[in-house]
């Protein structure tokens, strides 16, 4: 276990070093505001740098609200990110770009890890290792592959086929129950991918619903493929829970009553699975609703007809994403149940 964790962190460290070499010339410093004043109607900030090439130096930044559309009022003691450029003939140019939030994020991460380990024990540690490896796959395979112009869908599928066994077996152990969940997830993911492809085409979604995509450049990237890849990876995140749970249900029922045949085991397991489906669909809808809350606000505040707003690509994309993901979840239950029951009961009655 110790070797596994050390290996993961070494891999992450080496990968981070590679990314660092590709950073642009503009540098982002981290600093703390030590004084706030005014200068001809503008706000003057004195910032003590604690990370970056100007570490331990104090810089001055004057913010003119008339020349900026970002009117956040920073206060003394705030930790901020400062962009730093050396412009020939002008000297150093500084600008506060955002708050430095890593300290609060680290605290939240530690709280999450401590609670998970206290309650779930070793399983939480293995699950966290799987999560780290998932990030390694995403940042070292999927994203670089897409940036190089490779097919986003193919890269997402290959990445998913790596993530599924890694996360499942690390979190739940090497056993038949986990293998059934892996097989059920792969089948449901394939169906979800096919449905995503069909309805992206059928609904004429071009992938430009989010503002972030505009910065990628449509000529350099397969934007529609990126949209489909996002659907696949998003579905993968929720299939884990439902397939492993359903597999566990079948194995537990079979262990309680070893005389049950295939059909009885399947039907009894599906009774529990139906409740799981109902709760997971509701959960999935709420998750997507939370992520798309600004769109929902637009929906209720816009004066246009409701169907016209629903027809907008950014709304239609979320609808397709939610429904396709829900269909994948629904199918994952009977598929996983059939595989598990068939593995445990060779007879059909």
Looking up residue 48, the CATH number of its domain turns out to be 2.40.50.120
Distance CA 193, CA 325 (A): 9
Nearest of 87, 33, 40 to residue 61 by alpha carbon: 33
- Structural domain ending residue among the three candidates 67, 84, 100: 100
- Structural domain ending residue among the three candidates 100, 132, 162: 100
Residue 92's domain comprises: 27-100
Is the four-CA dihedral 132, 136, 137, 143 of positive or negative sign? positive
Residue 314 lies in a domain: yes
Residue 111 lies in a domain: no
The pair of three-digit structure tokens given for residue 293, joined into one six-digit string: 């809350």
Residue 15 lies in a domain: no
Residue 105 lies in a domain: no
- Considering the domain architecture, whether residues 157 and 77 belong to the same structural domain is answered as no
- Considering the domain architecture, whether residues 76 and 164 belong to the same structural domain is answered as no
Burial environment of residue 256 by CB neighbours within 10 A (0 to 12, 13 to 18, 19 or more):
exposed
The structural domain count of the chain equals 2
- Considering the domain architecture, whether residues 91 and 145 belong to the same structural domain is answered as no
Contact predicate 291/183, CB 8 Å: no
Residue 55 lies in a domain: yes
Distance CA 250, CA 274 (A): 13
Strand 79-87 versus strand 58-63 pairing type: unpaired
Residue 10 lies in a domain: no
- Considering the domain architecture, whether residues 204 and 281 belong to the same structural domain is answered as yes
Predicted confidence pLDDT, tens digits, the chain (349 residues): 444 444 544 444 444 444 444 444 678 889 999 988 887 768 888 899 998 888 888 988 887 765 555 567 888 888 999 988 887 767 788 888 889 988 888 899 899 989 989 998 888 888 888 888 888 888 888 888 887 877 787 888 888 888 888 888 888 888 899 999 999 999 988 888 888 888 878 877 776 666 666 556 555 666 767 777 777 787 777 787 788 889 999 999 888 888 888 888 899 999 988 887 887 777 777 776 776 677 677 767 767 776 777 777 777 777 787 788 788 888 989 999 999 998 887 644 4
- Considering the domain architecture, whether residues 186 and 303 belong to the same structural domain is answered as yes
Residue 290 lies in a domain: yes
Burial environment of residue 241 by CB neighbours within 10 A (0 to 12, 13 to 18, 19 or more):
middle
- Structural domain ending residue among the three candidates 70, 100, 130: 100
């Amino acid at each position: 276990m110790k070797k596994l964790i050390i290996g993961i962190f070494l891999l992450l460290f080496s990968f981070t070093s590679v990314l660092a070499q590709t950073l642009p010339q503009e540098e982002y410093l981290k600093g703390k505001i030590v004084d706030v004043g005014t200068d001809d109607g503008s706000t003057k900030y004195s910032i003590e740098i604690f990370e970056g090439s100007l570490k331990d130096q104090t810089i001055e930044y004057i913010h003119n609200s008339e020349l900026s559309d970002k009117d956040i009022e920073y206060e003394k003691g705030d930790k901020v990110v400062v962009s730093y450029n050396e412009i020939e003939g002008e000297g150093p140019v500084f600008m506060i770009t955002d708050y430095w939030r890593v300290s609060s994020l680290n605290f939240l991460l530690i709280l999450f890890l401590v609670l998970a380990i206290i309650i779930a024990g070793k399983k939480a540690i293995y699950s966290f290792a799987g999560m780290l490896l998932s990030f390694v796959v995403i940042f070292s395979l999927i994203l670089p592959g897409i940036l190089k112009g490779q097919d986003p869908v193919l890269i997402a599928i290959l990445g998913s086929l790596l993530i599924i066994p890694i996360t499942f077996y690390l979190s739940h152990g090497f056993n038949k129950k986990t293998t059934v969940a892996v097989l059920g997830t792969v089948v449901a993911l394939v169906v979800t991918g096919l449905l995503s492809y069909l309805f992206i085409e059928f609904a004429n979604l071009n992938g430009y619903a989010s503002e972030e995509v505009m910065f990628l450049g449509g000529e350099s990237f397969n934007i529609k493929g990126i949209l489909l890849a996002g659907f696949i990876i998003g579905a993968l995140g929720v299939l884990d829970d439902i397939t492993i749970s359903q597999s566990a249900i079948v194995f537990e029922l079979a262990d309680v009553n070893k005389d049950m045949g295939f059909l009885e085991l399947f039907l009894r397991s599906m009774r529990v699975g139906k409740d799981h489906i109902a709760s997971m669909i509701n959960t999935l809808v709420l998750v997507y609703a939370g992520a798309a809350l600004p769109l929902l606000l637009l929906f209720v505040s816009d004066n246009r007809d409701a169907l016209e707003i629903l027809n907008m690509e950014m709304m239609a994309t979320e609808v397709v994403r939610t429904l396709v993901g829900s269909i994948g979840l629904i199918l994952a239950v009977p598929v996983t149940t059939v595989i598990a029951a068939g593995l445990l009961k060779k007879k059909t009655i």
